[in-house]
Amino acid sequence: MYNELPAEEQHEVEQALVHDPELATTCADLLLAQRSLDALACGPSKRSTDAILQYSRTFLRSA
């Protein structure tokens, strides 16, 4: 899925996928899930960031 196998092992996996429809279906499902997860946002929401910044300002005022 991440193209990290050596060429020979990759060829073996590809052959297994060609000859095993259930394995090919599972692999396709995993690739779809991987693409879906990669598309998700990886950072906090603006609301969360604003709340953290507002909270941190309370320490600046009390010092």
Domain segments of the chain as ranges = 7-62
Rounded to 5°, the CA angle 6-16-37 comes to 70
**Confidence at residue 59, expressed as pLDDT on a 0 to 100 scale:** 78
**Confidence at residue 1, expressed as pLDDT on a 0 to 100 scale:** 72
From the centroid of its chain, how far is CA 61? 40
pLDDT along the chain (63 residues), means of 10: 88 96 96 89 88 87 60
Report the run of H or E that residue 56 belongs to, with start and end.
Answer: helix 46-62
**Confidence at residue 27, expressed as pLDDT on a 0 to 100 scale:** 95
Whole-model pTM?
0.57
